[in-house]
Amino acid sequence: MAMGTRRQRQRQEELWYRGDLAEAPGHPFYRRLNELLDQAGFDEFCEARCQKFYHEKLGRPSLAPGIYFRVSVTGTSYCT
């Protein structure tokens, strides 16, 4: 499976719902956490460490490693 990245992330095409639905406002804690992780270069760090475990082109790009670890640690869904 190819590794997805936040920088090159593309929206998945619509499946069963309309893509123009309003987004939830989020929570201040998670917005601040994302700001801190972005400032620290967390996504680039995760992508560099995980690169050797992903094939360059085979398969559909997966969830970016930084987002995967954020979801795993916080136990919540990730909103940009």
Rounded to the nearest angstrom, the gap between the alpha carbon of residue 42 and the centroid of all alpha carbons in its chain is: 11
| Position 79 pLDDT exceeds 80 | no
Q: In this structure, which amino acid lies at residue 79?
A: C
Residue 59 CA to its chain's centroid (Å) = 17
- Kindly report the pTM of this predicted structure: 0.59
| Helical spans, DSSP H, in the chain | 28-39, 42-50, 65-74
Count of Cβ atoms closer than 10 Å to residue 34 Cβ: 18
* Higher per-residue confidence, 75 vs 77: 75
State yes or no: pLDDT of 64 exceeds 70: yes
